[in-house]
A and B are shown apart, each in its own frame.
Chain A
Amino acid sequence: MSERPTPDELAEAIEEFLSGEILPTLDDHRLRFRTLVALNALGIVRRELAKLPREDDAEQRELAARIRGGDVPEGTLARVKADVAERLQIDSPRYLDRY
């Protein structure tokens, strides 16, 4: 399953936040240094991520198109819900405790 933002897009957003919004506000030398180190670490993460194969969303596209066409056989909801639960294990694991 592929989701936006991708892991790299999320890392990029954090990078921009740290360098653009946090770093300019820091006067403390130690904190500035550590933030620069964190940005370096994030750069490593992004380069690692770039080496991973791209996720394929063809199956989700096909399913979405079928439902759009009104083709909703029994079992569709159970399957879709299981897929969303799987995404939540990554995106917001504690949310599932609310049900």
Chain B
Amino acid sequence: MIADMREALEAVLGPISEPMLLPGGASKEAWAVDAGGERLLVRRAGGGVIHRHTLSLRHEFEVLEVAYEQGVRAPRPVAYIEALAGREAFVMERLEGETIGRRIVREPVPAGLPVQMAEELAKIHALPPERLPFLEAATIDRLVVELDEVGEPHPAIELGLWWLRENRPPPRDPVVVHGDFRIGNLVVDGSGLVGVLDWEFAHLDDPARDLAFSLVRAWRFGADALRLGGIGDVEPYLERYNELTGFDVRPEELDYWELAGNVGWAIGCLTQAQRHLTGQERSVELAILGRLGAEVEYEICHLLERQGVA
């Protein structure tokens, strides 16, 4: 297969180094190659998708093109390849820096990182939706459909969904959102934020939802005391974002969407386990997520308590 890949890549990129499969990546393969003196990364379709609403690699590449062109810190898109050894793929710049969440929160992070995250989000939320006509609008009602497809009883998730229905803040005009903006999907180095990765969940949505996603406890990677992704406080982040966008997102909205992010991830754990259980993609790593979802359900209960639910 590597020989097929090499041939297809060289047709586009010229002579390349030996492709090296990188670890990680739940649903996509990542290959490191060098060509023409450049460090490149090949993102290739894997066995399955995490959500039904995942963008195709062609569309993800188009989102990356628009984001890069509009000045978002992101890897430079190089080429889309419709069939790379039988699967779609694209090539982009391979940024240098750390992406592993656990390592990022363990080291002292650059003080400016929260503000830089806010700045990138402000740019993303200003991307022109007319350039990306395939992006769909999402509502939190989609979560109920996904839960019902799993078909297991999860009272804690139901409670979260109930509270989200009862306490919905006034909706904001939808904007282009990244959909998975959090530590783990950001390249970070000693100077701060190098680039935003993983655009496969981009869609149209309430900007506050994207803004609150980094607050979800699972994406603090054990550094629970720092509510913003285990790396910082929310206040400077929110302040900078509001300053740049004029959206005036209120802290209560972040609380709401933090809970929504947890409910989404709790359901995500179950749907990932379903990929294993239904035989779509057999993997012990996916299987155990069905059990680790209990952690997220506990966090949902904790957040509901803080909202005064009894």
Contact = CB atoms under 8 A, between A and B. Distances in A.
Interface of A: 3-5, 9-10, 13-14, 16-17, 57, 60-61, 63-65, 67-68, 70, 72, 74-78, 80-81, 83-85, 87-88, 90-92, 95-96, 98-99
Interface stretch (B40-48, B53-61, B101-109, B154-162): B154-162
B249 to A, nearest CB: 27
A84 B152 CA distance: 14
Interface in B264-283: 270, 273, 276-277, 282-283
B13 to A, nearest CB: 31
A64 B154 contact: yes
A3 B155 contact: no
A95 B283 CA distance: 23
A13 B310 contact: no
B224 A3 contact: no
A91 B305 contact: no
A72 B159 contact: yes
A10 B277 CA distance: 10
B276 A57 contact: no
B294 A87 contact: yes
B302 A99 contact: yes
Given A4-B273, A76-B159, A16 B301 contact: no
Prevailing SS type, chain B contact patch:
helix
B284 interface: yes
Interface residues of B, number: 33
B156 A81 contact: yes
Contact of A95 (B156, B295, B305, B309): B295
B310 A88 contact: no
A22 to B, nearest CB: 11
A56 B148 CA distance: 19
Contact of B155 (A4, A10, A80, A99): A80
Nearest to B151: A4
Contact of B288 (A10, A16, A72): A10
Interface string B219-262: 00010100000000000000000000000000000000000000
B176 to A, nearest CB: 32
A22 B276 CA distance: 18
Contact of A4 (B152, B159, B222, B298): B152
Nearest to B302: A99
Given A84-B298, A92-B295, A98-B224, A5 B158 contact: no
B296 to A, nearest CB: 10
Nearest to A85: B298
Contacts of A95: 294-295, 298
Contacts of A68: 158, 161-162
Given A4-B277, A9-B277, A10-B287, A74 B310 contact: yes
B294 A91 contact: yes
Contact of A88 (B154, B273, B277, B298): B298
B290 interface: yes
A92 B273 contact: no
B224 to A, nearest CB: 6
Given A16-B284, A72-B162, A84-B294, 19 more contacts: A3-B152, A3-B294, A5-B273, A5-B291, A9-B277, A10-B287, A60-B155, A64-B158, A67-B158, A76-B159, A77-B159, A77-B301, A77-B305, A80-B301, A84-B297, A87-B297, A88-B294, A91-B292, A95-B298
23 contacts: A4-B270, A4-B277, A5-B288, A9-B287, A13-B288, A60-B153, A61-B153, A64-B153, A68-B158, A72-B159, A76-B310, A77-B305, A83-B155, A84-B297, A87-B297, A88-B294, A88-B295, A90-B291, A91-B294, A92-B291, A95-B295, A95-B298, A99-B298
